[in-house]
Amino acid sequence: MSHDSPPVRRLADWDHDRLGRLAADHGTPLYVLDLDRVAANYERFAAAFPDAHVMYAAKAHTGGAVLSKLLATGADIECAAWGELHRAIEAGADPNTLQYTAVNPPDRDLDYAVDLAADNPGLTVTGGARDTFDRLAARGYDGRVAVRVNPGIGTGHHEKVATGKDAKFGIPYDEVADLAADLADRFDLVGLHAHAGSGVLHDDLDDHCRAIGKVADLGRRVEREITDLEFVDFGGGFGVPYREDEEPLDMGVVGERVREAVGELDAQIKLEPGRYVVADAELILTEVNTVKETPAATVVGVDASLATLIRPAMFGSYHPIRNVSAPDRDPEPVSVGGPCCTSADVFCTDRPIAEPRREDLLAVGNAGAYGYELANQFHSQPRPAEVAVEDGAARVVRERETIDDVTRVER
Ligand SMILES: *Cc1c(COP(=O)(O)O)cnc(C)c1O
């Protein structure tokens, strides 16, 4: 059974010969996506919350192959932009099952959601500002809405993702009940929603559960004073170990802790993991093109860059790196960086890696979440191809861009 799959996949667990063949067939840098692992991660998560409704937060990886696989696995999809709604539907999602979380939504996004809801009244729109609800009403919308709560507690791996204490996200906790009373008159108020942070591991679980408890309290209050709710959505944020010595979440424990934090609640619990589902299901293969010894460091140049994977530059994120051509060579402390002309284009500094030599293949792990999703064309670099492996077979699910793709919209 796939929910018996190991709770973490390290780079050493990938079939190195196969990775070598994929790089030879498709070139580098190359995203390699294991769709079976995506499904197994979702199933392990869902199994820990048998009574909850678990949706996949699409923005972690919106690739059609990922969305189709998860839909086939039984997941529903949470979207945070019109383009994500569009891609979820393209992948086969029933629009009636979609949840759209609007954050400072441009008109285009609201128009799209309102049009969609006209034929698909099951769609739920979550708002985090009074403006958003007023703008929905101005479009004649009186359908399903949820209120995004700002729990006042943020958690996670980096300040920039601790959304739960950032005023940008959600209605201030103390104002939610009043707003909910108003919304219950104007719309079909079906839920509360909160998403406190990202990358939560065991050390952050206390804070995360505190935020969950506060939102559950609010859910009980709304149910008591205003209206029955269909669901209270506690968001995503569940982390994966990026460092080799970090332990994965024990989902049995997490399930228990979350249920304990929620307590008695008539409404259904909803959760929407993104990162947890896709992070360790994908890696990047990159070829060494330069090995330069300097008094300060040994600099290893590769063909992937911050355009391929921006998380180290943007969040200071650690990603595991392994020499998959020669994992048994003696480790040497090296800095690994790409071809972009900024000091931020570095995947690691002074990290022991089995001595990289020119033409070696390195794997950069845990690239499935916010990896390809944040890839860009800096330095006029076409974005890499993405190959999916599934049931023992491999297929290209995203072609390598060409230079024409980079210039296509120029006039
Ligand atoms: C980003 C996001 C998620 C997923 O967060 P992860 O940390 O990837 O699990 C879930 N819900 C909402 C509303 C989000 O914006």
Q: What is the pLDDT of residue 3?
A: 47
Please give the torsion angle defined by the CA atoms of residues 170, 235, 114 and 137, in that order, rounded to the nearest 10 degrees.
-30
Give the whole-angstrom CA distance, residue 376 versus residue 238. 26
Residues 44 and 170 reside in one and the same domain: yes
Can you tell me which atom of ligand 1 is nearest the CA of 272?
10
Establish if 24 belongs to a structural domain.
no
Q: What is the pLDDT of residue 197?
A: 80
320 lines ligand 1 (CB under 6 A): no
Cite the active site residues.
341
- This prediction's pTM: 0.96
Q: Which pLDDT tens digit goes with each residue over 55-89?
A: 999 999 999 999 999 999 999 999 999 999 999 99
CB 220 within 8 A of CB 159: no
Residues 43 and 84 reside in one and the same domain: yes
Q: Which pLDDT tens digit goes with each residue over 89-130?
A: 999 999 999 999 999 999 999 999 999 999 999 999 999 999
Q: What is the chain's mean pLDDT, rounded?
A: 96
CB 369 within 8 A of CB 66: no
Establish if 21 belongs to a structural domain.
no
Mutate which of 45, 59, 373 for ligand 1 pocket (most atoms within 8 A of beta carbon): 59
Mean pLDDT computed over 221-247: 97
Establish if 109 belongs to a structural domain.
yes
Establish if 17 belongs to a structural domain.
no
Which of 247, 277, 307 represents a domain boundary (last residue)? 277
**What are phi and psi for residue 118, nearest 5 degrees?**
-60, -40
273 lines ligand 1 (CB under 6 A): yes
- DSSP letter string, 330-353: PEEEEEEE-SSSSTT-EEEEEEEE
Minimum mean pLDDT among 152-161, 230-239, 367-376, 396-405: which range? 152-161
**What are phi and psi for residue 219, nearest 5 degrees?**
-60, -45
194 lines ligand 1 (CB under 6 A): no
Query: Which 8-state DSSP code applies to residue 81?
Result: S
Which of 277, 309, 344 represents a domain boundary (last residue)? 277
Residues 165 and 45 reside in one and the same domain: yes
Give the whole-angstrom CA distance, residue 218 versus residue 204. 22
CB 339 within 8 A of CB 305: yes
Can you tell me which atom of ligand 1 is nearest the CA of 193?
13
Range of the domain at 89: 36-277
Helix (H, G, I), strand (E, B) or coil at 225: helix
Residues 67 and 141 reside in one and the same domain: yes
Give the whole-angstrom CA distance, residue 291 versus residue 302. 9
Give the whole-angstrom CA distance, residue 351 versus residue 335. 7
Residues 254 and 330 reside in one and the same domain: no
Q: What is the CATH number of the domain that holds 370?
A: 2.40.37.10
Q: From the centroid of its chain, how far is CA 173?
A: 25
State in Å: Cα 8 to ligand 1 middle: 20
Q: Which of 369, 251, 364 is nearest to 3 (CA)?
A: 251
Establish if 7 belongs to a structural domain.
no
Mean pLDDT computed over 347-362: 98
29 lines ligand 1 (CB under 6 A): no
Query: Which 8-state DSSP code applies to residue 259?
Result: H
Give the whole-angstrom CA distance, residue 251 versus residue 321. 26
195 lines ligand 1 (CB under 6 A): yes
CB 342 within 8 A of CB 357: no
Longest dimension (CA), the chain: 70
Q: What is the pLDDT of residue 153?
A: 83
Q: What is the pLDDT of residue 198?
A: 85
Q: What is the CA radius of gyration of the chain?
A: 22
Q: Which of 45, 17, 25, 9 is nearest to 237 (CA)?
A: 45
Cis peptide bond N-terminal to 29, omega within 30: yes
Which of 259, 277, 295 represents a domain boundary (last residue)? 277
